[in-house]
Amino acid sequence: MDVYLWWIGAAAADHELLGMVRRRTEQAFGLPVRAWLSHERPADSYDARRQQHSSTRILKWLLDARPKEAAKIVGLTDVDLFIPILTFVYGEAQLGGTAAVVSTARLASDTGFRPDHALLTARVVKESVHELGHTFGLIHCPRPTCVMARSVNLVQVDAKEPVLCHDCHIRFGELRKQGQEHHE
């Protein structure tokens, strides 16, 4: 299975951040993850009224623009994301689908002082693993330390570990087996 990580932000890609997300995502799922480098960006995701980007439109764009061999793709961006019923989202994914997107915009330190790059990286890793988990069919976990726990604020993001809990890891294995049997 080919899993791709694609920087689709407005700023230049942070290769150190992308490398850490790639390595931790590989560890979480036991699958190889490739970085995809392209200058293509979604063109119609910005909503002027909200001054944010529609994560749903970005998901649709990722499905059309992704490399053909990508079974799963996670787009990473620095733009602020929303879905219509929420003020903002850290990311969105297709449950049991192919595409996910994660934004760094609201994951940076909120102290107002010098940006904490290590903290931002840890948060982006967790949200990337979380959204990719949704593409494999995993739902939100009730354990606050599991990477699949719902997080609506940074305190909840910081409480999570960057790995699946025991139960979610078992469920991931079951979902993978079902998917492999489905394709046979």
Catalytic residue among 131, 161, 174, 181: 131
CB–CB of 144/6 below 8 Å? no
List of residues 6+ apart from 153 with CB closer than 8 A: none
> What span, in angstroms and rounded, lies between the C-alpha atoms of 150 and 168?
13
16 catalytically annotated: no
How far is CA 116 from each of CA 16, 22, 91, 146, rounded to the nearest angstrom?
A: 14, 20, 20, 23
Residues with catalytic annotation? 131
